[in-house]
Structure 1
């Protein structure tokens, strides 16, 4: 009985066998088509890259490179937009200041045009002040300077400054004023002395050359003042960017770049106009053909001077704003000395020719044959 019960319990605990799978015919099985060779190579390359340990790093490098490239393009576009916006602001700021600089040279140029229509000798006399009206001109200049100074002081007083309060500066304050004013004094003195040296050099070459010099120097002054507002812009905005509370050298470089671009454009325009006017329309200033010929001989260096002058004003204004006055005064002094030596070389060459044994003063047969032929004709 117990053996029979054990057999029954074993039959209940044994699991039922799984049903046999249905027979499948081989002709019903369809295997997928093999991929083409190019696809197999691509899949194999991707598999190898995924298995490689350097795959995540390469992917990150590619993503980072593309992000940097996109950021660089966006930064270039923003920098270009900011540059042209800054150029527009500079033009808006420097435009009204141009009228202050252009008045004096314009009046002098008008005087040259009016007097040049009468006589070349009177045109040459404009370079100096005659003895007949010396007292009148000196008094007029003094009165004009006093009135202008009083008007500026009154304007400063209205702005809140105590312009009419006079105090005696201390020794330390005088030293600071001297440190700032001395290099600027050397710079301005070098410019004025060089122009005066040019005038005296033109005087030694005769009245015709002096008349042509007077016309060209007035046109030059009329064109060069267009760069002064750029210098004032640099002196107004550069100090804060260079050593102010909001110091930003990157913005200072961008401002200098904008100023130089405007100066280059202004120099090209002024050089073209300032050269074409005495070349094509010399009758506006004088009707003397000899004076016109002398004017045309200096057009090439004249154009080069007008081309670079506005950009030079930008650089000088930046040096003044950065208080690099020693370098500015030294460079201007060196330029003045070089110009003086160039002008003095004319004296040396002329004197050497005159005192040489083959010159006209020591050679009895100097141009004697040509003189006889001219006299015979």
Structure 2
């Protein structure tokens, strides 16, 4: 029992702040949506479209930089501070490249808005919003760099404080810039983009100040020549993580597009359950991040038993959480979906889908945490391969032909899409768990 406490308590200690961080991060988009929606429904639509355009770009960058977490954790455990500083310099090189690329690509996407958005007024707002967001990208990228160096060192207080500052500054600035106050004219939806710029750099400097105090190893105390080829190697290692995250988001967006072919109310019901699922999965994402840190720490210690018990403990915790949330969704599905809509048909459709969401979430949570185990072992390709196969070879094609076209079905309906999604996630969870178990076992052989 003491051994399990020794394993579970550090995981929970890491996971709880990460849950707060994830919820703060998720709330940023919600704030922009609420403020723009109160101003005008067209501004709401524009910000929603703009967020869907630039968010995958930033998620790709976040995934690439996440490779710094397990590497920093291992170096921190071995007290190799000079290597941590060298790794940080490599991260700065990567961040510079990502900042330039992100700045350019978001501007290009902004110029494309009139061609891909049919409503000219909405396209104009979206374009202005994205042009503003492009200037926020460098600040967000460097903030993420400092975040992951701090996270890898198990210093989570700077991240929590920064995200609270980011959340408050974005909320206040969005309200002021969108609605106008004093001599400031109302900027509408585009004002949220400008608010993102100011709040991103405020958060970046706050994060830099706090992390440099919490992780003094990143301070440059002597000249080090950082190899460009080694920096690019770090980028290559992080790329599979970023691509994995983007593939998941694009897959869910594709499923939403499939649902749109089944009617307006079906779109609404599908979006309701997707939003519910995205909030619930935040906790397994935080547990997965904590797992990555703990597995990397035990790897540095060559502690095989610690890695095995960590994998088992997080699997049990995640399974219990998934089953608990599934029970709540099944028992209270009608009441939860009623919070999102007053249309009775939409509520009935969404309540029916909740049962599939309950099953989907259990397996999605398990595969998310198993991916955290693999990343802690610095195995980055396996999660990408599993997500690519399960989502894009199985779920997407079958959802289209069976859920939209009615292949082998009496009639096409959105229930089929969610049934296939639940089955596909079951397969993904099984494959990810098997891979993580094998890699933990093989890491023992390598260490010997």
Return the TM-score normalized by structure 1: 0.61
Q: State the distance in 2 between where 1:275 and 1:348 align.
A: 25
Aligned positions of 1:232-251 closer than 5 A: 232-242=289-299, 244=300, 246-251=301-306
| 2:361 is aligned with 1:306 | yes
Q: State the distance in 1 between where 2:325 and 2:34 align.
A: 19
Tell me the residue number matched to 1:63.
none
**Greater Rg by CA:** 1
Shift of 1:126: 8.5
| 2:239 is aligned with 1:175 | no
Instruction: Choose from 194, 205, 212 the match for 2:262.
Output: 205
Shift of 1:127: 5.8
Compare 81-90 and 219-228 and name the one that shifted more.
81-90
Shift of 1:237: 1.6
Residue-by-residue CA offset, 1:67-103 (whole Å, 9 max, x unaligned): xxxxxxxxxxxxx331144223322331122111123
Residue-by-residue CA offset, 1:260-306 (whole Å, 9 max, x unaligned): 11111111122222444432343322110111122023122201122
**How many residues are aligned here?**
270
The secondary structure found in structure 2 opposite 1:298 is: helix
Q: State the distance in 2 between where 1:197 and 1:252 align.
A: 36
Instruction: Choose from 208, 216, 220 the match for 2:277.
Output: 220
Instruction: Choose from 330, 335, 356 the match for 1:280.
Output: 335
Tell me the residue number matched to 1:342.
398
Tell me the residue number matched to 2:351.
296
Residue-by-residue CA offset, 1:87-136 (whole Å, 9 max, x unaligned): 233223311221111234457679999999xxx99999996454364231
Q: State the distance in 1 between where 2:357 and 2:236 align.
A: 35
Conserved 8 A contact 1:113-1:285: no
Question: Is the alpha carbon distance of 1:189 and 1:267 closer, same or farther for their aligned partners in structure 2, counting shifts above 3 Å?
Answer: same
Return the TM-score normalized by structure 2: 0.52
CA-based RMSD: 3.8
Segments of structure 1 that go 5 or more residues without pairing to the other structure are 1-79, 354-377
Tell me the residue number matched to 1:131.
123
Compare 344-353 and 176-185 and name the one that shifted more.
344-353
Aligned positions of 1:61-72 closer than 5 A: none
Question: Is the alpha carbon distance of 1:254 and 1:351 closer, same or farther for their aligned partners in structure 2, counting shifts above 3 Å?
Answer: closer
Q: State the distance in 2 between where 1:184 and 1:255 align.
A: 21
Shift of 1:142: 4.1
Shift of 1:311: 2.4
| 2:2 is aligned with 1:81 | yes
| 2:18 is aligned with 1:97 | yes
The secondary structure found in structure 1 opposite 2:252 is: helix
Conserved 8 A contact 2:33-2:48: no
Q: State the distance in 2 between where 1:205 and 1:199 align.
A: 10
Shift of 1:254: 0.8
Conserved 8 A contact 1:109-1:219: no
Q: State the distance in 2 between where 1:145 and 1:202 align.
A: 34
